[in-house]
Structure formats: structure tokens, C-alpha cells
């Protein structure tokens, strides 16, 4: 620019591909009168407000590896190559990124005969360096022998500040005949996530995120490489990203096994991870990703052999997703840090604005995402957007929703249930009810109300809503470790609880409790109970066991790997050091007992116990809902309905036989004879009516 604000030169839209941290402009060699386009160049260092600096002659190509990352069984010769004439390849094996001055100069092929992490880049004077390429090679015979004496692996520190330290694979597990082969199978059963980084960024006394696990925020985010691969031919990826410690109570110093969160930002590499990480999911791009591990009731933190199960959180989220609601995907994996096995983990989407945008209509900026923050003082806050709409919902619920006018207004409707386009939609009622049924069934003691606070505080919940659409807040099952416990077979988490009386502890259970004042809401609760607890619903034992068995089968061999790595992890004594000599917790002696109890007792009995609790609270009618049965086959099939006392009233047009307020739907039919197959799918909705009272709704498509 020059005065008076006239343009001297502009590129318009005709310029080459740009690169991070590399500027582009006119070379300082240009003089007036010369053709400008001949002097357009890239520069090694950006220089805003100053004369453009050293011109780049080009960009060094990335280093090629002769063998892909992954599991290896035999030693091999690794060849590194680069197609840029005159470039020098430097590599490291300690997790640090090579630079023009750091790393071994590659001269000839390398023999790789043990678990090895190699990072390589190429450099040439006057050229921008290549990207750093990272490859992890795992030899399982080597992995199962890592630090058998508990001493730090080469390059790893003896201590992590005040954090309890645990290293190594336990020979008492890997050498036991029952496990010596299964530990190898267990490693191959699950995908691997390999984190590779400067060991000081992870464990260093001054800036290590693991050795300062209680620290949070961007200041405690470090660069790393993340690789994802399987033992078979399935595709994988490698990406440079940021990494932090994640979690709340699990950040304690006496926990030697922490969870992580990955952030994909253009300061590290691609701004998004683009990969089909979760089978069956339509979402293949991610802004961030959690790498979670069981904390409460784990072997590494508290040495819990009575309740260590590892699948509770995933099973709870699987239930919500199977009900048709939004729930973060997750899958098990093995985690390695600079080639050292770190245990059984699971990948998990994080339910924030990018997640909402991926699955619901709208951009990230359209969503309010609400959660509870505790640890530094309980506080309901917005991770994205603001709390304005949530505050309006909470205030309306606190005021009371006994009348239909107040209750339906939460849903953007008139008091008769018809849509009111002048009223905002604040609540997704079916989502709230199903969310609470999962909370109640699972005996969740730490979400959304925490029993550990005497039920005065909330914890572990997310709610999200698009401000620009007529959609109410939806709630996400999250961090469900305090569930399905042996001592809690008969626990009652229906409430009411005091948490939520103040906005700082507001939560979905408080909204549920206030809505229970309304007859129409209670009827809807009864309908959702009937859907999920009867007629092969998702909260019937057989359906629950299928979801549970799926997750158990995924890790039944991988648990042996976890046993070898963390089964002998000890709680610290007063001096903060581990107590040596305890036996390791194992799959067959400990984990399988918890699996069998959960499957054969909790999953078998809990639904009946919860139904009795719901009945006692008046949340399910004492009028029996119609019971369906089919006679005949194919076109001759007929649907028969039966009930105890009362008459059965049904519709096939999708409407409810019961009108809002309790009257009979004028278009409904009184059931007398089996209903023939019409040849087309139709939705039958039926209720039993007895002495002015209605049963829960039966919905069946046939």
C-alpha cells in the first residue's frame, strides 16, 4: 500500500500452494521497472513490517520408509530415502523431532530387531525442511519383556515428580502358562495408538504433562506424533498434534496411569484428523479425541480387583446410542508411549461443539454446550456458546411446570400440545427421559448428581442445543464408571435430590424432577419405560447382555496385557513410594469374576429391581399395557392384543389413543379381534383404559 491508499501490488487469487510458517511475497532483489512476477518467492522466515528475507529455493520432499509401521516378527533392514537431490536425512530413536542440527545423519540401512520408534526428516540449505515422519515398529516378544524388574526403560525417568511411578510387564503374568500365548493374542486383538514425543515434554520435572498431571489448559499442551494401526491389513494413520492430560479426580499424584486428550491444530500439522475411526459412524473428521482409561475401579488406580471391569463407560454410552440418541463413539485400543506399552485404553469422541456440528445440523458456532465444572468450585458453564438458554430452561423448571401451559412451553408448544412458533424449544423430552432411565438403571452415583457429595452437587453431564433450530437440549451419557457395581444392585437413583436448586449445580436430573410434577410428562415417562423395559426393549436383560458381551469379547484377551502392565500397580504408602511384593491382579482370578457377576446377577436382576422402584414412585401405571402376540405367517399373520382389566384402544395412523388431558382419541378403535396384516408396514399404538386411567403406550410396527 502507499498513500493515498492506492494498491502497489496484489496477488489476487493467483498464487501457489502456501505452507505453514513459510511466507510468500516479492523478493528484496526486485527493483522498480523489473517484472514483478519474476520476483515472487517463498521465504524461510516471515518478516512482517520488514524487508523480506532469505529466499527459499524450494521444499524438501518427505522421507520415505521402506517398511510400514506396525507389528513385526522378524528383524529387517530399514531403508530411508528422499527424492530431493542433495538433501540430508536425519533421524532419532528417542522420540524427539530431528532438526538440521539434531539427530543422527542417515548414511545406510539400519537393522531393526527390537521395538523401535524412528522419526526422520530431510534438510537442505536454502530449502524448507521436510515434514517429520514417524514410524513405530513393535516386536511383541520384546514388548512382553519390557522392564521386567520395574526399572525405567532407556530414556525414561526414575520419577515423575510426585506422581506414583510404575513401569514394566510383570513376568508373573507373561510367563504364566495360562497367559503366555494369550498376552500375544491380546496385543493383536485391538488397534494400537502410539504416542511419540520428547520424553521431557511428557515426564520432565519442569514441563512434563504427566509429571504435572493436575495442570490443564493450552499452557500444558505439548506436540507429539500419533500413529494408529492394526495387526492386520486395516488402514491406519499418522498425524502430528497436541496432547494434554485429561480427567478430574484421576489427575491425582497417586494415580500412575493417566488419560489423554489430542488436539488437531494447524500449528502441529493438519487442523483435523480425517479418518474413519469408528465403525458405523458417518463422521470421519475430528477436531479432538480423548484417549480414556478406566480410573475408578481400575487395577492401576486403587488396585480394585473386586470391581475392575473396564467396560462400564462404553456400555452405558452404547445403550444411549442404541436407543437412537446422540452418544460419543468409542473403541478399545492399546497405548504405547515412545515404544513402551502403557496399557488398555479407549478412544472417545468429546461431546462439544464440533461433535454437535458433526451429528446435528448446524455449524460449531450455532451450539450451546453446557457441562459442570468442579474441582475449583462447582460451576455450570458453557464449553461452547453461552448459558442463556440453559438458564431460561432451569428458571422455568424451578418456577414449576405442573400446568400444561408451562410444561409444553418448554417444548415450544401451546398448552394443548400444538406447536407454538412464537415460543422457543428448550427441552427434548424423550431424550431427557431416556437419559434418566439409563442413569437410574445403571445406578449411576456420579452423574448427573453425585452421591459422593450427599447428592448436593452435580457432575459428569453434558447438554447441547442448536440456538438457531427448533430443538431442545439433549443430554449425553458421560464418564459412567460409577455404575453397575456389585454393592449397588438395589441402589435407587430416582431422586429427588437437592442438587440443582442453585444454578451453579443445575443439571438434567433437576429438570426431570421438576417436570415430574406434570401429568403429561409422567405419562411420557411411563411410555418410555414400557418401550425400554418390555417387549425386548433395550433395558431388558437379554438386550443388555448382548451389548455387554460385545464389549467384554473385545477385550477378553487384551485384559491379559493390562494385567501384565498394571496388575501389580500399588497404592503408595506414606512416603509416596510403591509397596513391593503384592501379587498381580489377573484376568481369570479377578476380571472374569467381575464379568460373571455383572452378567449373571446385575444384568439379570437389575431391570426388575428398577421397575419396582419406578412403580413405587408412581412413575409407571398399575393398569397393564396391552401385550402383543402374532398368529399365522406372512400375509396371513395377525396381531393379537391382550390385557388384564379394562379395554384396549388402538390407532394405526401414528396418533396416540390417549389425548392430552386424558380423553380418548376420536379416531382410535376399540380392540375386539386380532388385527390382520394389511400388506404394508403400519405403526400400531395401543393403550389399556380402565376406570378412567390409562396404561403406558404399546408401540409396534408390523
Phi, psi of 332 (to 5 degrees): -75, 155
Residue 86 DSSP code: T
Query: How many whole angstroms from its chain centre is CA 690?
Result: 46
For residue 504, what is its C-alpha cell? Answer: 451453579
Same domain? 225 vs 301: yes
Q: Which of 63, 32, 60, 59 is nearest to 43 (CA)?
A: 59
238 exposure class (CB count in 10 Å sphere: 0-12, 13-18, 19+):
middle
* pLDDT above 50 (res 513): yes
Q: Which of 384, 364, 361 is nearest to 286 (CA)?
A: 364
Report whether 323 contacts 296 (CB < 8 A). no
In the prediction, which pLDDT does 22 show?
60
Same domain? 165 vs 310: yes
Per the model's pLDDT, the better-predicted residue between 399 and 572 turns out to be 399
H-state helical runs in 323-452: 353-359, 388-399, 404-409, 429-442
* In-domain check, residue 229: yes
* pLDDT above 60 (res 415): yes
pLDDT, one tens digit per residue, over 25-64 is 555 554 465 544 444 555 565 656 555 556 678 899 999 9
Contacts of 672 (CB under 8 A, 6+ apart): none
Q: Which of 330, 339, 281, 288 is nearest to 310 (CA)?
A: 330
Burial per residue of 491-505, b for 16 or more beta-carbon CB atoms within 10 angstroms, e otherwise: bebbbebbbbeeebb
Please state, for a pLDDT cut of 70, what percent of the chain lies above it. 89
Report whether 173 contacts 184 (CB < 8 A). no
Confidence at 577, pLDDT banded by 50, 70, 90:
very low
Residue 601 DSSP code: I
In the prediction, which pLDDT does 299 show?
93
pLDDT, one tens digit per residue, over 236-267 is 999 999 999 998 888 888 889 999 999 999 99
Using the Cα atoms of residue 520, residue 522, residue 524 and residue 526 in order, give the sign of their dihedral: negative
Q: Which range has the worst mean pLDDT, 244-258, 309-323, 362-376, 564-578?
A: 564-578
Report whether 408 contacts 418 (CB < 8 A). no
Query: How many whole angstroms from its chain centre is CA 185?
Result: 26
H-state helical runs in 136-266: 140-143, 171-174, 182-189, 199-203
* In-domain check, residue 168: yes
Using the Cα atoms of residue 388, residue 389, residue 392 and residue 394 in order, give the sign of their dihedral: negative
In the prediction, which pLDDT does 373 show?
85
* pLDDT above 50 (res 654): yes
For residue 87, what is its C-alpha cell? Answer: 538433501
Same domain? 386 vs 465: yes
In the prediction, which pLDDT does 36 show?
46
pLDDT, one tens digit per residue, over 207-226 is 999 999 999 999 999 999 99
In the prediction, which pLDDT does 93 show?
98
Give residue for cell 502403557: 342
* pLDDT above 80 (res 640): yes
- Across 554-679, the runs of DSSP E, i.e. the strands, are 627-631, 638-642, 647-651, 669-670, 675-676
For residue 628, what is its C-alpha cell? Answer: 402383543
Q: Which of 382, 391, 390, 427 is nearest to 409 (CA)?
A: 427
Same domain? 94 vs 222: no
pLDDT, one tens digit per residue, over 332-350 is 999 999 999 999 999 999 9
pLDDT, one tens digit per residue, over 180-200 is 999 999 999 999 999 999 999
Q: Which of 680, 625, 627 is nearest to 658 (CA)?
A: 625
Q: Which of 504, 390, 491, 496 is nearest to 457 (CA)?
A: 504
Distances (CA, A) of 199 to 105, 143, 156, 574: 21, 19, 7, 28
The CATH number linked to 110 is 2.60.40
Contacts of 346 (CB under 8 A, 6+ apart): 291, 292, 293, 313, 314, 330, 331, 332, 333
* pLDDT above 70 (res 537): yes
Burial per residue of 32-55, b for 16 or more beta-carbon CB atoms within 10 angstroms, e otherwise: eeeeeeebbbbbbeeeeeeebeee
Same domain? 343 vs 279: yes
Q: Which of 377, 323, 314, 317 is nearest to 345 (CA)?
A: 314
Distances (CA, A) of 42 to 30, 59, 127, 128: 14, 10, 10, 9
Same domain? 241 vs 288: yes
Helices (H), strands (E): how many in the chain? 15, 36
* In-domain check, residue 603: no
Same domain? 88 vs 129: yes
Same domain? 229 vs 97: no
H-state helical runs in 579-690: 592-597, 603-616
Over residues 224-233, the mean pLDDT reads 97
Task: State the DSSP H helix or E strand holding residue 521, giving kind and residue range, or none if neither.
Answer: helix 519-533
* In-domain check, residue 307: yes
In the prediction, which pLDDT does 576 show?
37
Distances (CA, A) of 36 to 6, 7, 641: 17, 14, 85
* In-domain check, residue 72: yes
Where is the domain boundary, 138, 157, 185?
138
Report whether 84 contacts 127 (CB < 8 A). yes
- Calpha distance 55→544 (Å, rounded): 64
Per the structure, the count of domains in the chain is: 5
* In-domain check, residue 144: no
Report whether 642 contacts 626 (CB < 8 A). yes
In the prediction, which pLDDT does 571 show?
44
Residue 422 DSSP code: T
For residue 605, what is its C-alpha cell? Answer: 436382576
Confidence at 578, pLDDT banded by 50, 70, 90:
very low
Q: Which range has the worst mean pLDDT, 87-91, 577-581, 602-606?
A: 577-581
- Calpha distance 363→357 (Å, rounded): 5
* pLDDT above 60 (res 18): no
**Distance spanning both ends of the chain, measured CA to CA:** 72
Q: Which of 330, 261, 551, 520 is nearest to 415 (CA)?
A: 520
Helices 312-322 & 541-555, crossing angle to 10 degrees? Answer: 130
In the prediction, which pLDDT does 35 show?
45
Kindly report the pTM of this predicted structure.
0.92
Confidence at 645, pLDDT banded by 50, 70, 90:
very high
* In-domain check, residue 462: yes
**Average pLDDT of the residues of the chain:** 92
Same domain? 421 vs 486: yes
Same domain? 298 vs 210: yes
For residue 602, what is its C-alpha cell? Answer: 446385575
Distances (CA, A) of 105 to 64, 95, 100, 117, 680: 15, 16, 10, 16, 72
In the prediction, which pLDDT does 3 show?
55
* In-domain check, residue 608: no
pLDDT, one tens digit per residue, over 470-510 is 999 999 999 999 999 999 999 999 999 999 999 999 999 99
Same domain? 256 vs 283: yes
Same domain? 291 vs 237: yes
Structural domain including 696 reads 627-701
Sheet strand arrangement including 638-642? 627-631, 638-642, 675-676
* pLDDT above 80 (res 450): yes
pLDDT, one tens digit per residue, over 135-151 is 999 999 999 999 999 89
Amino acid at each position: 500500500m502507499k498513500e493515498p491508499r492506492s494498491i502497489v501490488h496484489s496477488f489476487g487469487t493467483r498464487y501457489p500452494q502456501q505452507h505453514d510458517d513459510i511466507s510468500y511475497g516479492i523478493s528484496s532483489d526486485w527493483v522498480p521497472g523489473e517484472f514483478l512476477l519474476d520476483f515472487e518467492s517463498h521465504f524461510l522466515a516471515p518478516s512482517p513490517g520488514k524487508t523480506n528475507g532469505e529466499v527459499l529455493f524450494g521444499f524438501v520432499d518427505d522421507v520415505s520408509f521402506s517398511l510400514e509401521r506396525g507389528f513385526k516378527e522378524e528383524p529387517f533392514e530399514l531403508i530411508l530415502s528422499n527424492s530431493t537431490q542433495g538433501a540430508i536425512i536425519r533421524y532419532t530413536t528417542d522420540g524427539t523431532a530431528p532438526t538440521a542440527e539434531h539427530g543422527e545423519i542417515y548414511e545406510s540401512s539400519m537393522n531393526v530387531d527390537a521395538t523401535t520408534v524412528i522419526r526422520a526428516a530431510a534438510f537442505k540449505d536454502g530449502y524448507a525442511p521436510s515434514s517429520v515422519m514417524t514410524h513405530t515398529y513393535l516386536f511383541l516378544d520384546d514388548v512382553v519383556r519390557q522392564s521386567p524388574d520395574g526399572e525405567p526403560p532407556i530414556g525414561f525417568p526414575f520419577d515423575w515428580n510426585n506422581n506414583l511411578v510404575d513401569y514394566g510387564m510383570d513376568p508373573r503374568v507373561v510367563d504364566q502358562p495360562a497367559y503366555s500365548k494369550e498376552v500375544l493374542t491380546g496385543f493383536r486383538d485391538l488397534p494400537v495408538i502410539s504416542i511419540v514425543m520428547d520424553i521431557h515434554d511428557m515426564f520432565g520435572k519442569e514441563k512434563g504433562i504427566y509429571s504435572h498431571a493436575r495442570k490443564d489448559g493450552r499452557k500444558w499442551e505439548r506436540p507429539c506424533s500419533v500413529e494408529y494401526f492394526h495387526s492386520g491389513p486395516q488402514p491406519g494413520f499418522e498425524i502430528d498434534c497436541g496432547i494434554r492430560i485429561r480427567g478430574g479426580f484421576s489427575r491425582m499424584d497417586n494415580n500412575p496411569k493417566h488419560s489423554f486428550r489430542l488436539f488437531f491444530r494447524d500449528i502441529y500439522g493438519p487442523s483435523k484428523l480425517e479418518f474413519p475411526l469408528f465403525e458405523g459412524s458417518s463422521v470421519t473428521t475430528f477436531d479432538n479425541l480423548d484417549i480414556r482409561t478406566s480410573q475408578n475401579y481400575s487395577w492401576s488406580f486403587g488396585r480394585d480387583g473386586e470391581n475392575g471391569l473396564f467396560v462400564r463407560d462404553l456400555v452405558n454410552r452404547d445403550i444411549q446410542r442404541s436407543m437412537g440418541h446422540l452418544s460419543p463413539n468409542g473403541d478399545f485400543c492399546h497405548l504405547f508411549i515412545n515404544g513402551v506399552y502403557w496399557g488398555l485404553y479407549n478412544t472417545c469422541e468429546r461431546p462439544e461443539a464440533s461433535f454437535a456440528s458433526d451429528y446435528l445440523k448446524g455449524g460449531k458456532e450455532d451450539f450451546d454446550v453446557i457441562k459442570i465444572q468442579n474441582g475449583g468450585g462447582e460451576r455450570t458453564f458453557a464449553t461452547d456458546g453461552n448459558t442463556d438458554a440453559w438458564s431460561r430452561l432451569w428458571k422455568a423448571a424451578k418456577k414449576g411446570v405442573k400446568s400444561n401451559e408451562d410444561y409444553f412451553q418448554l417444548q415450544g408448544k401451546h398448552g394443548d400440545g400444538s406447536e407454538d412458533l412464537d415460543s422457543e424449544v428448550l427441552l427434548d423430552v424423550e431424550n431427557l427421559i431416556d437419559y434418566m432411565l439409563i442413569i437410574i438403571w445403571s445406578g449411576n452415583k456420579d452423574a448427573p448428581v453425585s452421591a459422593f457429595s450427599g447428592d448436593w452437587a452435580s457432575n459428569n453431564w453434558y447438554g447441547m442445543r442448536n440456538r438457531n433450530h427448533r430443538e431442545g437440549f439433549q443430554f449425553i451419557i458421560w464418564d459412567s464408571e460409577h455404575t453397575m457395581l456389585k454393592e449397588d444392585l438395589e441402589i435407587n437413583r430416582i431422586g429427588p435430590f437437592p442438587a440443582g436448586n442453585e444454578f451453579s449445580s443445575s443439571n438434567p436430573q433437576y429438570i426431570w424432577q421438576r417436570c415430574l410434577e406434570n401429568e403429561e410428562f409422567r405419562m411420557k415417562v411411563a411410555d418410555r419405560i414400557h418401550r425400554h423395559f418390555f417387549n425386548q426393549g433395550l433395558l431388558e436383560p437379554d438386550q443388555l447382555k448382548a451389548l455387554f458381551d460385545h464389549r467384554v469379547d473385545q477385550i477378553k484377551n487384551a485384559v491379559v496385557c493390562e494385567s501384565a502392565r498394571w496388575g501389580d500397580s500399588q497404592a503408595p504408602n506414606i512416603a509416596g513410594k510403591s509397596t513391593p511384593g503384592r501379587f498381580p491382579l489377573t484376568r481369570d482370578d479377578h476380571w472374569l469374576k467381575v464379568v460373571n457377576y455383572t452378567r449373571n446377577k446385575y444384568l439379570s436382576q437389575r431391570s426388575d429391581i428398577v421397575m419396582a422402584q419406578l412403580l413405587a414412585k408412581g412413575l409407571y401405571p398399575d393398569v397393564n399395557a396391552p401385550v402383543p402376540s402374532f398368529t399365522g405367517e406372512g400375509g396371513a399373520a395377525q396381531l393379537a392384543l391382550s390385557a388384564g382389566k379394562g379395554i384396549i384402544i388402538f390407532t394405526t395412523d401414528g396418533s396416540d389413543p390417549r389425548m392430552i388431558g386424558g380423553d380418548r382419541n376420536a379416531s382410535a378403535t376399540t380392540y375386539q379381534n386380532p388385527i390382520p396384516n394389511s400388506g404394508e408396514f403400519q405403526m400400531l399404538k395401543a393403550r389399556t383404559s380402565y376406570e378412567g386411567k390409562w396404561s403406558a403406550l404399546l408401540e409396534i410396527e408390523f
